[in-house]
Each structure stands twice: as C-alpha cells, then as structure tokens.
Structure 1
C-alpha cells in the first residue's frame, strides 16, 4: 500500500524539515525526505507533481526538476499507475535504499 495525496489521512509535511543547516531546504531535499518517509511508512508515495507542489508551496516545475534530479542520482524510482480503463493515475515514488 502507498500513501496517496488527497486521500483520508492525506499527506502532511510532519517530519519533513523546512530548513537544513540554518538555510531554507531545497525542494529536492524536501521531496526526498517526503518520499523516504512514505516509503518507510507505507511502501511508497503516490502523488501528482501538482499535489506535491501544493504541499511544498512551490511550483510544479520545481517539483518536476527535483524528481528528475533524484531519479538521475538514483535516490528514488518511480512507477506509473493506471486505472481500469488505461488512464494514468499519479506515479508511485520510492527511495532506493
């Protein structure tokens, strides 16, 4: 089972730091912390980039860039999900370690 944004018990930023070493945390750092927390709690995070942007208070392009970089670095993996009719749902994100 994965945590889903917008579902009962919806995602929060509890435990996801907004500062790192006295500076504002980068979107990439916050996305990684959120995915790591949800991977540990429920096996992964199912959320749209728009949901993540709203939660983090940034724009979708910042989340997209963070996810691309985290995937390229090998820190996270993502898997597409589809409904019964073949329509794409939110991806599932998981940390790799």
Structure 2
C-alpha cells in the first residue's frame, strides 16, 4: 500500500511492525556496518521492503544512515543508528 503524504500538524504517524523491528535491530547493532540485505534476512522480509522503510524512517528523522567507504574508494555496508532527541 503506497504511503500518503502527511501534512504538517497531523502529528506523528504510527509505525508498522516491520519499522519497529528495524529500529530494534538497529538499536541492537548500533554503529556496526550492516547491509539492508542483512536486516531483511534477520527480519524475514524482502530487501525492497527494508529499503523503502529505511528511507521512510530516515525521512521521519528516526534513523540516521552513515555511509562507509574502503580505502580504495569502494562502498562498504552503511552504519545505522537511532536518531537522538535534541
């Protein structure tokens, strides 16, 4: 089901069970390099589903993704961490 745009002032949206599971996984593995395929495998979900939900969690300010790079310039698995309240 496609997401609908939320208007300012609508308040926080309800997280899906999979989004909650992603946040829990990240909390347990915070700061470790981790691929979306590893998250998907751990949660028994499709990689495309994880990709879409990670993007939504980032857009909502709940998840921070830090890309990592090898010395030769190749991309490594990103580090995920929970966003902290300011």
Q: Which runs of 4+ in 1 moved over 6 A?
A: none
How many residues are treated as equivalent by the alignment? Answer: 69
Is the strand fraction higher in 1 or 2? Answer: 1
Q: Deviation of residue 33 (structure 1)?
A: 1.1
Q: Distance in 1 between matches of 2:63 and 2:39?
A: 15
Q: Which has the larger radius of gyration?
A: 2
* Unpaired stretches in structure 2, ≥5 consecutive residues: 1-15
C-alpha RMSD over aligned residues? 1.4
Which residue is 1:81 aligned to?
A: 68
Unaligned runs of 5+ in 1: 1-24
TM-score by length of 2: 0.72
- Match runs of 1:22-61 below 5 Å: 26-39=17-30, 44-61=31-48
